[in-house]
Every structure is written in C-alpha cells, then in structure tokens.
Structure 1
Amino acid sequence: MKLLRVGPQGAEKPAVLDSAGKLRDLSGHARDIDGETLSPAGLAALAAIDVASLPVIEGMPRIGACIARPVNFLCIGLNYADHAAESGVPLPKEPIMFLKSLGAICGPNDDVLIPRGSTKTDWEVELGVVIGTKASYISEAEAMDHVAGYCVVNDVSERAFQVEREGTWDKGKGCDTFGPIGPWLVTADEVGDPQNLQMWCDVDEVRMQNGNTRTMIFDVRAVVSYASQFMTLYPGDIIATGTPPGVAFGMKPEPRYLRAGQAMRAGIAGLGEQSQRLVAA
C-alpha cells in the first residue's frame, strides 16, 4: 500500500494511492496515518479494504507529510561509504545518531525556507524507515519485524550552523521545513529489499545525487536495532538513514549551496518523488 495524507496544513486526511494512480479517501477507515494505523493490526485492517470502493479524491490537493505525530525523527549521519569518502572523513565505527526537530517536518512539495543568516543550506536525499511496532533493546534479527514501511526524506541541512558553530549538529538540521517527508509511505511488503534502492536528488533539474542504498555502512536492520539500544522507538517514528554522495558540502573545489529561487527534486525507486522551491525565511 501507498499511504499518504492530503489537504491543507494541519487539516490533512488519510488517503491511499490506488493501482491506477488515483487518490482514495481513507478517512472512513483510519483517523490518520499515525502510529495506530501503522501497527500490524492497523495495516492488516487497511489491507482488507477494497480500495476500488473508496471515494476518489478529485483534483490536485496538497500532499502533507505522510506520517502524523511521530514521537521521534531520528537521523543517521555519514552512513554511506561513498558519502563519507567525499566528505573526507573516516568510516564511523558505529552509527552516528542525531534527532531532527519535529518542527522541521513538512509536506513533500511544500516550500523549504532558507534560514536567516544561512550561507550553506544543503540537500540530502535519504531513505526514511517508519516504525510500526514499539522497539526497545531489539536484536538485528528482530529489527525488520518492527518496520511498517519506507518513504523519501530530504534531510535539508545548514552546514555553517551544523559544523562551524558551537554545539551539536542539531541547530543545522532542525530548522523549519528542513524535513520534507513523502509523498507517500510504502508498506514494507511492497518494498522488499531496502538495501537495493536507487535514489537521486536534482537541483534546478541538474542531477546532483545518484546513489543506491546498497552502499550504506550500517543497513536498515542494523540501524533499527542500534537505535533501540538508546531510545524506545514508537509506531510512526521516522529514521532517516543517511545520504549518498553528491551533496554541496562535498563539492570540490567550491561548494554550490542552495539559494532562494532554486528548486530541488528528490526520489527513491518505488517510493515516489518530492519537489520543493527554496524561499528566504
């Protein structure tokens, strides 16, 4: 299933994308695309619905973030061997974790705000892993049983805020609109192997990132298990699992960071595409 949320910001309703590419209204069967809906019982109930019997959502409504009210928006840094190489840093010995502000979450096609004072706003297409079952101290062998599905994430980052100022990475990662999610959540049964997904990001229609999840240092199984050793993961939580090479931060000799008026498009095979316009905050 491809699950999404459509409508004005703050008033989105749950929907499903049918096999013909039509949006179908799920609000008669689910409160929202949230932790309850993404539980094994919730997904089983949705799978039993005759999608063709659901009302069609006409027109071109705004698509919101595909998950409502996560408890945690967790990110893994430097998790692609080829991205670590372009950044000129050694491979991490264990996953680098940080939390992205929940206030960064926005719809997949909403405008992205370049923060005031920013000089180095950057893009990062990432595979988002969505938790379906509460996970605490789980093994790698158990990890995939806790995954509800996957989505596209753009881990937008301000590098000067992130690495040149005092403190942790968070101030360069959690700015408003720095977490576009979607367009939809694809359930794990439809994705199959998450370690062989092509992913890309364009800036002004120029391909900047062209990678594959096979070059992850720590795969999805390892990341979910590892994170659960430090915090409880709840249904609806998102883990952004790192980015392949091609970000502005790794450009030589001179990085070309984002400016107001530009546009980004990011996608992952089977998970759809998202696009944003850059505007000044």
Structure 2
Amino acid sequence: MKLISYLDDHRVNRIAYVEGDKVFSLDFTGDMVTLIQDGSESLNIYVEQALKRPALSLQQVDLAAPLLAPAKIVAIGKNYAEHAIETKSAVPEEPIVFAKFATSIIGPGADITWNASLTNQVDFEAELAVIIGQRARNVAEENTLDYVFGYTCANDVSARDLQYRGKQWVRGKSLDTFCPLGPWIVTADEIPDPQNLGIRCQVNGRTMQNSHTSKMIFSVPFLISFLSHHFTLLPGDIILTGTPDGVGAFREPPEFLRDGDSVMVEIEAIGQIVNQCRVTAA
C-alpha cells in the first residue's frame, strides 16, 4: 500500500492511504512514526475504516514529507562502485556511515533553499530510502527485510564545499531542506526485492543519474544487519542507501544546482519527487 502525509485545510498534518488517484484519510491523530510503531494490524484496521468514508482526489491534497520526525536518518556514502570511481576514491570495503538531521526533511514541491554566503556548491543525490518498521538490534542478514516497513524516494542534497571542508560530512549534508522525501511510503510487501529498482535523477528535465539498485555495493539486507550490529534501529528510522554515479560535483566541468532549478528523483515501483531550488542573497 501507499501512505502519504498531507496538510489539511487547517494546515494540520494528516496521514492517508492512497489507491490510484484516490486519497482515504485515516482517523489517526498521531504522526507516521507512531503509526509504524503501532504495527501492521493496527494500520490495516485504520485503512479498512478509511475505505468506508468518502475519498479525496490526490490532486486536491497538499503533500508533505511522508515521515517528518524519525529518531535518526542514517546515510551510506559511496555505495555504488561507479560513484566511488567518479570521486576518484577506492571502492569501500565496508559501509561509510554518516548522519543527516531530521530538520533537513522536506516533502514534494517544497523548495530546496540555501544562502549563497554559506555555500555555492549544492549537489543532488538520488537515493532509495528504507523505512524501518520495528526495533532492530543484532539482526542476521537473512532476516533483515522482515524489519522494513517500506520505501520512499530521497534526495541527499549536499553542499560539497561544506562537506569536504572538514572530516565530518554532517554539516554539508544537514542544512535545512537538504533531505527531500516522498511522494509516499510504499510498504515493503509491494517491493519484495529492493535490489531490483531503477533509480534516476533529472535536473530541469535533463537526466543526470540513471542507474539500478542492483549496482549497490552493500545491499539493503546487508546494510540493515551491519547497522543493527552497531546501534539500535527504531521504527521510523530512515536509511539512505547511497547514490549512483552522475552527481554534479564530479562532472567536467562541475554542474552544481542553481536558483530556479527543478530536481526530480524517481525510483521504479515507488514514484517521483520534484523540488525547486531557491537561493537567498549572500
């Protein structure tokens, strides 16, 4: 199933089930993390009840990020060999792990914004986002997909000058608005194999990244197991699984995002998220 968050007429965040172009609001006052924590049985009851009420049109609703307040966003660097090669780096022998802050999350149609005095090297990174469905600690790789609630599209927007100015990446990765997510969460039962999805990014309609999740160095099951052996993963936690080659920073010459640019991330079986870039004066 597909689940969205949207803002109602009173600008209150609501959760809904999407079927085709119809939106069925759940009679649930919590956020998406709480809904995930409540488990699949509770979710199914809310959906069954929602289907008995009149539907909205998808075009009527103001989509928000499907998940706004995860306990953590864990990201993986250089998880596609071609991307590692384009950065002139060695292919990693184990996952490169970093974090993004939840305050960087925005939804479909929201602006990616930055101040020109802070950075002028803003880049795009199309990524498959994994949403954890239950507490995971020391999980065996063969069991890890049982811990996945669903998947969504992500753009790991990155200020390259800030990212590489120090040894830690979090500053350049966590500016407000630097984690577009959406358009919805597709539950794990609809994506039995996360390593079998096309992934691409377009800037102003021009394809910049075009790859496939089968090219990940470390698979989704491996990543969940690896991370769970280092720290506890909680319901609603997000794992950004890395970006393929084609990012702007390593093109000749580099092609960074500019004011007015439109960025689309699209993943097969999930959908696409589009955001505009807005630069404020230095």
| Fold match (TM-score > 0.5) | yes
Q: What's the counterpart of residue 66 of structure 2?
A: 66
Q: Is the 2:123–2:157 contact (alpha carbons within 8 Å) kept by the matching residues of 1?
A: yes
* 1:178-220: CA deviation from partner (whole Å, max 9, x where unpaired): 0011110000001111001001110011011101000000000
Unpaired runs of 5+ residues, structure 1, are: none
Q: 1:169, CA displacement in angstroms?
A: 0.6
Question: Within 5 Å, which residues of 2 pair with 1:63-212?
Answer: 63-117=63-117, 118-163=119-164, 165-212=165-212
Q: What's the counterpart of residue 40 of structure 2?
A: 43
Q: 1:120, CA displacement in angstroms?
A: 0.8
Q: What's the counterpart of residue 259 of structure 1?
A: 258
Q: 1:69, CA displacement in angstroms?
A: 1.8
Whole-angstrom distance in 2 between the partners of 1:262 and 1:142: 41
SS in 2 for 1:136: coil
Deviates more, 1:111-120 or 1:231-240: 111-120
Whole-angstrom distance in 2 between the partners of 1:267 and 1:30: 30
Letter of the 1:213 partner, please give it. Answer: T
Whole-angstrom distance in 1 between the partners of 2:186 and 2:41: 14
Name whichever structure is richer in strand by fraction. Answer: 2
Q: What's the counterpart of residue 52 of structure 1?
A: 51
Q: 1:68, CA displacement in angstroms?
A: 3.5
* 1:74-121: CA deviation from partner (whole Å, max 9, x where unpaired): 100000111112221111010000010111011122100023331210
Whole-angstrom distance in 2 between the partners of 1:132 and 1:4: 16
* 1:219-277: CA deviation from partner (whole Å, max 9, x where unpaired): 000111111122211100000000111100221x2111001111111110111111111
Q: Is the 2:68–2:102 contact (alpha carbons within 8 Å) kept by the matching residues of 1?
A: no
Q: Is the 1:68–1:236 contact (alpha carbons within 8 Å) kept by the matching residues of 2?
A: no
How many residues were matched structurally? 275
Displaced runs of 4 or more, over 4 A: none
Q: Is the 1:121–1:158 contact (alpha carbons within 8 Å) kept by the matching residues of 2?
A: yes
Whole-angstrom distance in 1 between the partners of 2:86 and 2:241: 17
SS in 1 for 2:226: helix
Unpaired runs of 5+ residues, structure 2, are: none
SS in 2 for 1:279: strand
Q: Is the 1:132–1:146 contact (alpha carbons within 8 Å) kept by the matching residues of 2?
A: yes
Whole-angstrom distance in 1 between the partners of 2:3 and 2:111: 22
